[in-house]
Structure 1
Amino acid sequence: MTARPRTECGDDRIRPRPLHPAPRPGESLTSWLSRTCEVYSLTNPAHLLTGFDIAARDLDRYTAEPILTALAGRGAVPVERLRLMTLAGWTPWLLDSTDPVGCDFDTYVHQFSILLPADLSMEDRRRRTPTDDAWLPWVSAMGNRACPTCIDSLESSADITVRLLQQTSVLSSCLDHRCRLEPCSVLPGHAIFWDQVRFGSDERVPPVPVPAAVTEMDRRTTAALTTGWVDLRPGRVHAAVWFRLLRTVVDEVSTPLCRTGRWATRLVAIWRVAGYSRPPRTARVPFEGLRGDEQAKVLGAAAAAVTMIENGEIDAGGAHASLLCPRPYEPVDPGTAPTRSYYPAPERDAWAEVHAAAEAAIAAARVDPTSARSLYNFLRWGCRTARELDETVQLFVDHGIPLQHPPT
């Protein structure tokens, strides 16, 4: 559906009507604005909002509240939904701040230690510290990537969008098709151009399968941003813990073997299971500064490391390795069954109760004539002969129970 807004006489500003396509799941803000421009046959998202300088802004990182409020007023999308279409809506989970001044490299990357002891190769860690002031975890260099299978399954080019998470380096695969995300250039709602295909060619990019460990890691990453938590072997952890833990493992698998001492055998095993050779630049360049193919290899090694720790295939020397290690079996004493009282109730002895009742009745009959008469009448009911009656009277005499009126 396309529509061209009317303009007032003498006014060269374009005043769009409130026709906005619904945002797709995970779509970035700039992608949604570009598709909205297609509705009005516009070429610049700045024409959607007059009075705001949005052309010079990186809206996918941070969008000011007045702009979000104005966009929400023009369309049927709440401000909260629009904010989640930017990286600012993922703070402080994915990153501490969208401003590099508010993100400290050492605090984010080295507050945990998983594979290696925390005090190992501190000098090597400083070699990978960013030298510029524009570092942000996972998003320093955002680039468009997409799943070839997902694009082929779209009904029309109008459905082409850019997903915000696929622009970051924390995700490397498509969970629906379990294949690698491929770099591309996207014109939302219009066309997509793959970097691996010659421009103008009709060739399709073949999907490249990824290991199960990478799929599981990306599943947890996606769950962290949609639910706020991740299930690990010991239990549930907050999304912020997961992203910082994962960034720590990414840095640890990038450590040169010559600086890891006896832990080098673990790193060798990890890269062997991942099926990659470690890119040389990982020793001196932070993860966010690597090329896309290099980042994919490092993420594959990190996924292999997490899986091997969880399965108990390798032991980790970090102080926080327990976040991934399976909890050891701890037998629990079943204890005793609960009772109504603190002390266990004794077994009931019916004959003992009868004997105690008889003793109580005899004791009462010795001092109380009424009780003696009641006890005598009770025993007399069982007498059938005069002899049995005499034996009952003798029983009273033997126990010292006086009878005021001897029986006749």
Structure 2
Amino acid sequence: MDLADLGAFATLRVAAADLNGQMRGKRVPGSYGAKLEGGAVRMPYSALNVDLWGADIADSPLVFDSGDADGVLRPTDRGPVPMPWIPAPTALVPMTMHHEDGRPFAGDPRHALARILDRYAKRGWQVMAATEMEFTLLDDSGNAPLPPRNPMTGRALAGEAVLSLAEMDAFDGFFTALYDGCAAMGIPAQSAISESGVGQFELALEHQPALRAADDAWLFKALVRGLARAHGFSATFMAKPYGDDAGNGMHVHFSVLDADGNNVFDDGTPKGNDVLRHAVAGCLAAMPDSTAIFAPHMNSYERFVDGAHAPTGAAWGYDNRTVSIRIPAGPPVARRIEHRVAGGDLNPYLGIAAMLGAALNGIEDEAEPPAPVEGNAYEIEGLPTLAPTMAAALDRFEASPLMARIFPAQLIDCLVRMKRQEIERFEALSPKEHWLSYLETV
């Protein structure tokens, strides 16, 4: 589908990602399709930097120093996609925010990732990435999240069902619609599995250029949530839907190709080359200061429990799932890095930008990592750790020279202000109310 086809739709949705990864935009007539390239849709810059509930940041310079000026929304190269979860035929046009003169708006998270990829491109390199998306199906009809009902038996799910085909088949209607929706939207869905949490599933997306991978992760979240509602339950990417159950993560695999299509991490051996080690060292060095990106919500910190498949220490290893940076097994030509820290509530654009930016910093600095971990990384004492709370994570993120090499100063400032406002708002709520704020917003 391209912009010229949009006149066939009665209405369109045009949306850009805000700092929390939520879609912010407008509903417009289908006739707008021909006007979008020319900047027919405008929106306040501040709209991409609002808090979880959509409120302006109280002390935001975007609002008060600029008169809350408008930016110009322009279509991304991802192109329009159908919205299979809406009954009426409708298309969504992914957008990014620009200044009047065409410059990218620094507070737009998609531009932050594009900025990092431009640094790779200057070396003649292209980053390929894939995501593993974990989510939880649940019943949200009461005052607390509950497991969904098995569509075959009508009974609520109980207990873990790791790699259970029976549980997958029980939700066959949903997963068939999900695969059909991915095909319609051009999202390269691969294997789906039943995960270790109650009602928890994972779907892997295929390797592709990193910006497209982030686009598809962002669109996939909207598709999953919308289709779940259409099938009588809800879906969430919350990092920790239940306090005593497995949390949702978003693992990112990435490799780097040179101008000839060769993997720059490959030296023909299972270990990989110096470039691989430098990239790993960069990821490890930046990890504590990146906590506010990888764990972007207060709920995120409940996921970090030793031994619960959510790495808490900056360590790496070969084919080891207890570390935060894993080098998967496989043929040398496919050598890649798996970044295993982030929660499912991650903003894909900011998260992948943080990972790739850190890796490139390490390559530029020719940094060397510590020895790879063998055995259980949870048992190793003295590893650098993620920040323990959102407040501590924001302090580190704001003051970090490493983050300043990855993200624009304006984005850092806006994100920190926004997250500190969220902390204040959550502190005013009962903890029992927190889950409703996160349910379909992350």
Is the TM value for this pair above 0.5?
no
Q: TM-score, normalised by structure 2?
A: 0.19
Larger RCO (alpha carbons 8 Å, 6+ apart): 2
Pick the structure with more strand per residue.
2
| Larger-gyration structure (1/2) | 1
Pick the structure with more helix per residue.
1
Q: TM-score, normalised by structure 1?
A: 0.20
